[in-house]
Amino acid sequence: MAEKYKLSGRGNHPEDSIFDISGRKIGGGNFAVIAGPCSVETEPQILSIARDVKNAGASFLRGGAFKPRTSPYAFSGLGLDGLDLLKIARAKTDLPIVTEIMSIDYLEQFANDVDIIQIGARNMQNYDLLHAVGRLGKPVLLKRGLSSTIDELLLAAEHIMASGTEEVILCERGIRTFETATRNTLDLSAVPVIKALSHLPVIVDPSHGTGYWNLVEPMALAAAACGADGLIIEVHNHPEAALCDGEQSVTPGVFKNIVRKVNIVRDAIANA
């Protein structure tokens, strides 16, 4: 039978992909921790968080400059000024940057300035955006759509790869279910399911996956235990004052403890 996932599937590529992105490895046993605020807000904010997450063991800095918000009246990011602040944070900490692209209007800036281009859940099936970003050939972090199946996620990755990009990282970030106790239902079974089908690295976002900061640690540990290749975690130095997603943001101190425990879980499994 012809391979449905021609480029992302294991049929034509049985071994795990390992990507070396700006000197940081992910996949095939290399675990990447991406951390930072939901949104870039000010220079002191992003610099302080960048330094803290680096000290705690993060390998990439995240931060939204262009934010897809449900309400048009909510803070929607600093735009290109936010990208400039991320570049300052990268220069000062040496952490590569991960940030979301929403529009093809900014392809050139993202191509020049961003280490991993994030495609958010809301744009997972925005095929023109997938093709345009795919043509850049830069590493992409593709988040699972709010109500998308694993098949749809893998086919979205195919769109990016068929356009010319090899380095696609998949992200389970929770899906819509009838449950209201959490913001989304984090589908951790997606990790082993995707890994059986695909050679691409799979990371987990326990922040959007649950919506509550106190649920981030248990789900991060569970993600490490079920074979994820990394985590993306929202960290804020003043979560109560965050302009976006404060409820699900952990403090740098909590984040440090999460990274410590994740490493213990990974060691335990490697030695089991």
CB 36 within 8 A of CB 53: yes
Q: How far apart are CA 75 and CA 223, in angstroms?
A: 30
Q: Give least dist CB 213 to Mn ion, A.
A: 12
Q: Choose which of 9, 27, 120, 230 interacts with ligand PEP (CB under 6 A).
A: 120
Phi and psi for 135 in degrees, rounded to 5? -70, -20
Nearer to Mn ion (CB atom), residue 38 or residue 114: 38
- To ligand PEP, the closest distance from the beta carbon of 178 in angstroms equals 19
Binding partner of residue 52 among Mn ion, ligand PEP, none, CB cut-off 5 to 8 Å per kind: none
Q: Which does 143 bind (CB under 5 to 8 A by kind): Mn ion, ligand PEP, none?
A: ligand PEP
Residue holding tokens 């870039």?
A: 40
From 10-18, 118-126, 186-194, 217-225, span contacting ligand PEP (CB under 6 A)? 118-126
What minimum distance in Å lies between the beta carbon of 12 and ligand PEP? 29
Smallest separation (angstroms) from ligand PEP to the CB of 208: 5
Q: What's the rounded Cα separation, in Å, for the pair 105 and 255?
A: 34
Interface with ligand PEP, residue 121, by CB under 6 A? yes
* Choice from 34, 35, 38, 200 touching Mn ion (CB under 5 A): 38
Dist. CA 207–CA 112, nearest whole Å? 28
Candidate residues 195, 245, 249, 258; the one interacting with Mn ion per rule CB under 5 A: 245
Tell me: does residue 208 bind ligand PEP (CB under 6 A): yes
Is residue 64 part of the contact set for ligand PEP (CB under 6 A)?
Answer: yes
Cβ nearer to ligand PEP, comparing 14 with 72: 72
Residues that bind ligand PEP (CB under 6 A): 38, 64, 68, 120-122, 143, 173, 208
Q: Which residues make up the interface to Mn ion (CB under 5 A)?
A: 38, 245
